[in-house]
């Protein structure tokens, strides 16, 4: 583990203890002339020092002149494309390596890694399972004759199939990190300069957990070195608490920590948007040097346990100020959400749901959001999960109602098999720390190939989709944006969590997945579920009689549609419905009278040269502008050499080609931009959102 000191009156030196075996093996690989492509599997609980070890390895590799790349598994292991794009970005930023036009991304990355001995460090590898098949079958074999070391850090370690692989198993070294030994703790405390009389007591009470040990040392060193702290060192804390955090930092830094706890990550400028007094560069540096603060590409971030403690302390100390700061954080995150990519949007959505968790339903029959459980990083469904999901489903049918009312009970198992076979991305799984499923929901993404499956298992649902059937039957798979959930189950026998707690975890994870511009459909006759859906902002979109009789009840189609509703507006509605009277409004006073979202931007482009129709657009009328004013603004925006942020030159090119030139079809355009049709479609939607943001700012300044 490392000592990361405060920057202020108390600046102990940075120390590393432990990791003897791990660093020795790493340095041996770096210097061994016969090294081949290998994998280091680093694992351990949160706060054990996985990231610190990887940082030390990074430093050692850089000192040895080895090409060294770092990936964050939370964002860059979702797909093979994200993995390769992350490596490409690192090669360009760190080493100036530029891919030649026309060279496939995979060929470029493999070529760079095989040119010299290389080290690839991947932190937060819990999402590795999403691309492990591609890694083992397509990526790693291309490097089998090279000299590349993969260091993969995660809580649970690499899945068993990696270690049992006849080709890769012998290339893996496992490094499960454990608590620090008593000797390592005493060595660490000795290097920190603490009094001899404290060391044994600290070693006993901190149990060797590096995160707690570093925080305790921060506090006690500060007390020992500060003449105003008094001679008595007081009781040594034996657990994480806000008191430790408050004493580990100066009052100014503690306020900054409280603000940081409201954000997923923040740079200096972002923090200062929420601070009473600006945090200077020295203060920001000091904040980043605290043992429980980590530097990332997006700024500083807190360990999630620490962030929760700080928020709780803030709310208890000054409830009114906490409300104000939380609202300010919400507005800032809402701005970031509209400009973020899908991966970043999921992270922001999950953070906002945690910020406002007390406004979500509690003590509900199916989902109790009052418990502060951390769902962790979402890991997509994988084929080996199916047996576990079938067991959860079978166990949940009898004592609870975690099943579909549209499907006959004897067909649940076959339905889940077919969803896994034909629509695996329609399965949302919540896991424990070891990766074992705790809960899931499953359904079909609606497009031409899945309607027949719906008709087979749940024929009644087609009546509820009657207004859309014709469109859905011709919709290609890559353009689908609607998930119809048919099954759900939680581990009703779990010894630690109640079914309602797991239901809340599952609903939170599913909501996060939907926020990236998707629509979710739930169908139920259960009055408890109806109440839950209403509380969560679902809209009632139709109904039919269950089995055609009054006695059986009424099936209602509920929708949550993020295609035409922004995530921030949905959160505001939830708070408005459930918050106490008099809660300050989340709507900023200087918000534009009208916002141009991606859908409105598309309408404007389609009517750009039809002045009369442009004048009639709701957004144009709301702003009190003429269509010609809007047209001139858009033309300037799409032709200027300096694209206004967040619009990019690629966005400009795509929008000009699609909406202004209009001389090629979508397949031809995708080829022109060297993208698949699906990727081109995604870039087009993103370009429209970016254009809408720029238009909102520009047109608001022109309001009459």
Taking a C-beta distance cutoff of 8 angstroms, is the pair 41, 152 a contact? yes
Q: What pTM did the predictor assign? A: 0.51
Which of 21-30, 328-337, 463-472, 507-516 holds the top average pLDDT? 21-30
- For 274-318, write each residue's pLDDT tens digit: 888 888 888 888 888 775 677 777 888 886 667 776 787 788 778
Average pLDDT over residues 123-136: 80
Residue 542 clears pLDDT 50, i.e. is over it: yes
The torsion region of residue 59 among left (phi > 0), alpha (psi -120 to 50) and beta comes to alpha
pLDDT for res 362: 64
Cα dihedral across residues 609, 615, 619, 625: positive or negative: positive
pLDDT band (50, 70, 90) for residue 231: very low
| Percent above pLDDT 90 for the chain | 10
Residue 1 clears pLDDT 50, i.e. is over it: no
Higher pLDDT, 626 or 365: 626
Average pLDDT over residues 438-442: 91
Per-residue DSSP letter, 583: P
Largest CA-CA distance found in the chain, in angstroms, rounded: 84
Residue 419 clears pLDDT 90, i.e. is over it: yes
pLDDT band (50, 70, 90) for residue 3: very low
Torsions phi, psi for 678 (to 5 deg): -65, -45
pLDDT band (50, 70, 90) for residue 416: very high
Taking a C-beta distance cutoff of 8 angstroms, is the pair 413, 404 a contact? no
- For 110-123, write each residue's pLDDT tens digit: 999 999 999 999 88
Cα–Cα distance between 503 and 361 in angstroms, integer? 11
Strands (E), 216-340: 293-296, 299-302
| Percent above pLDDT 70 for the chain | 77
Cα dihedral across residues 194, 200, 201, 205: positive or negative: positive
Residue 118: helix, strand or coil by DSSP? Answer: strand
Cα dihedral across residues 313, 315, 321, 326: positive or negative: positive
Residue 397 clears pLDDT 60, i.e. is over it: yes
pLDDT for res 6: 29
pLDDT for res 704: 43
Residue 538: helix, strand or coil by DSSP? Answer: coil
Cα–Cα distance between 429 and 375 in angstroms, integer? 10
Average pLDDT over the chain, rounded to whole? Answer: 78
Higher pLDDT, 376 or 326: 326
pLDDT band (50, 70, 90) for residue 545: low
Residue 520 clears pLDDT 80, i.e. is over it: yes
- How many of the other CB atoms lie within 10 Å of CB of 632? 11
- How many of the other CB atoms lie within 10 Å of CB of 61? 23
3-state SS of the chain: helix, strand, coil percent to 5? 55, 10, 35
Residue 400 clears pLDDT 70, i.e. is over it: no
pLDDT for res 9: 34
- For 627-653, write each residue's pLDDT tens digit: 788 888 888 888 877 777 667 778 888
Element (H, E) at 560: strand 554-561
């Amino acid at each position: 583990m490392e000592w990361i000191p405060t920057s202020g009156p108390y600046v102990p030196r940075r120390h590393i203890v432990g990791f003897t075996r791990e660093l020795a093996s790493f340095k041996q690989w770096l210097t061994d002339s016969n090294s081949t492509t290998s994998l280091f599997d680093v694992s351990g609980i949160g706060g054990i020092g996985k990231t610190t070890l990887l940082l030390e390895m990074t430093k050692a590799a850089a000192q040895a002149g080895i090409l060294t790349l770092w990936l964050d598994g939370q964002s860059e292991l979702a797909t093979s494309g994200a993995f390769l794009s992350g490596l490409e970005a690192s090669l360009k930023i760190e080493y100036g390596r530029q891919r030649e036009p026309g060279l496939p991304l995979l060929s470029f990355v493999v070529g760079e890694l095989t040119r010299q001995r290389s080290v690839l460090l991947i932190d937060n590898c819990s999402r590795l399972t999403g691309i492990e098949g591609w890694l083992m079958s397509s990526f790693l074999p291309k490097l089998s004759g090279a000299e590349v070391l993969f260091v993969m850090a995660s809580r649970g370690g690499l899945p068993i199939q990696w270690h049992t692989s006849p080709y890769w198993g012998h290339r893996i070294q496992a490094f499960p990190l454990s608590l620090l030994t008593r000797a390592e703790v005493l060595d660490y405390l000795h290097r920190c300069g603490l009094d001899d009389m404290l060391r044994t007591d600290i070693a006993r009470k901190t149990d060797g957990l590096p995160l707690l040990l570093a925080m305790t040392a921060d506090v006690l060193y500060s007390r020992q070195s500060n003449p105003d702290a008094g001679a008595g060192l007081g009781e040594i804390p034996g657990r994480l608490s806000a008191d430790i955090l408050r004493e580990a930092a100066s009052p100014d830094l503690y306020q900054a920590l409280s603000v940081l706890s409201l954000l997923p990550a923040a740079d200096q400028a972002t923090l200062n948007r929420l601070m009473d007094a600006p945090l200077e560069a020295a203060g920001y540096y000091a904040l980043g040097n605290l043992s429980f603060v980590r530097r990332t590409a997006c700024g500083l971030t807190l360990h999630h346990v620490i962030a929760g403690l700080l928020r709780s302390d803030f709310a208890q100390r000054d409830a009114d100020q906490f409300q104000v700061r939380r609202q300010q954080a919400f507005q800032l995150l809402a701005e970031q959400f509209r400009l973020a990519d899908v991966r970043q949007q999921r992270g922001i959505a999950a953070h906002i749901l945690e910020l406002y968790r007390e406004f979500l339903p509690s003590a509900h029959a199916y989902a109790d959001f009052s418990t502060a459980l951390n769902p962790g990083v979402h890991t997509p469904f994988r084929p080996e999960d199916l047996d576990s999901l079938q067991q959860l489903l079978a166990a949940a049918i009898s004592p609870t109602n975690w099943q579909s009312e549209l499907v006959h009970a004897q067909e649940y198992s076959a339905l889940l098999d077919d969803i896994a076979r034909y629509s695996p991305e329609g399965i949302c799984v919540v896991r424990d720390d070891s990766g074992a499923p705790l809960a899931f929901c499953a359904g079909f993404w609606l497009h031409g190939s899945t309607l027949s499956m719906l008709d087979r298992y749940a024929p009644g649902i087609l009546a509820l989709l009657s207004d859309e059937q014709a469109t859905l039957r011709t919709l290609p798979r890559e353009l689908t944006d609607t998930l119809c959930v048919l099954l759900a189950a939680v581990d009703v026998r779990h010894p630690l969590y109640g079914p309602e707690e797991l239901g809340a975890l599952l609903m939170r994870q599913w909501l996060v997945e939907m926020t990236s511009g998707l629509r979710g459909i739930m169908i139920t006759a259960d009055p408890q579920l109806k109440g839950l859906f209403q509380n969560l902002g679902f809209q009632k979109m139709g109904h039919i009689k269950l089995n055609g009789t009054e006695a059986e009840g009424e099936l209602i189609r509920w929708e949550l549609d993020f295609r035409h509703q922004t995530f921030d507006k949905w959160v505001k509605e939830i708070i408005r419905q459930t918050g106490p009277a008099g809660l300050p409004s989340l709507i900023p006073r200087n918000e534009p009278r009208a916002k141009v979202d991606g859908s409105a931007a598309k309408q404007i482009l389609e009517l750009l040269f039809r002045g009369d129709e442009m004048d009639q657009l709701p957004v144009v009328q709301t702003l009190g502008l003429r269509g010609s004013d809007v047209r001139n603004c858009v033309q300037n925006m799409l032709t200027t050499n300096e694209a206004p942020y967040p619009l990019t030159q690629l966005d400009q090119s795509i929008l000009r080609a699609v909406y202004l030139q209009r001389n090629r079809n979508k397949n031809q355009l995708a080829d022109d931009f060297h993208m698949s049709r699906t990727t081109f479609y995604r870039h087009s939607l993103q370009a429209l959102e970016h254009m809408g943001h720029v238009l909102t700012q520009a047109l608001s300044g022109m309001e009459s």
